[in-house]
Amino acid sequence: MGGMIVFSSPEAGECHLGRIFIDPLHQNHGYGQESFRFLFQTYPAARKWTLDTPSWALRNHYFYEKLGFIRTGKITGEVNGEVIIEYERVK
């Protein structure tokens, strides 16, 4: 149905969501929001969360912003020129 990869730095109070995937057959059923509730409960000491997503993934942008993430920057890939948007959420 889906999966997540989280990189945590407890001493710094930060976590980076490397990847989250919800199978397209299960999207739009609230599983993404439930996944983030689980993450925030699992890492209560994390004061700052970061993640990134492709610039073309507009639904992702809307979803992350709805969860309180703000855009903090962008990275352009040297090889393929793809633009990645960086986000963070601070308690």
pLDDT per residue as tens digits for the range 76-89: 988 888 999 999 99
Burial 71-91 (b: 16+ CB within 10 A, else e): eeeeeeeeeeeeeebebbbee
Higher pLDDT, 60 or 1: 60
pLDDT single digits (tens) 9-54: 877 899 999 988 888 888 888 888 999 999 999 999 999 999 999 9
Q: Could you tell me which of 90, 19, 91, 14 has the C-alpha nearest to residue 60?
A: 19
For residue 32, the model assigns a pLDDT of 87
Q: Which helix (H) or strand (E) holds 33?
A: helix 31-42
pLDDT of residue 57: 94
What is the C-alpha to C-alpha distance for residues 19 and 22, in angstroms, rounded to an integer? 10
Give the integer Cα–Cα distance in Å for 70 and 73. 9
At 1 the pLDDT is 58
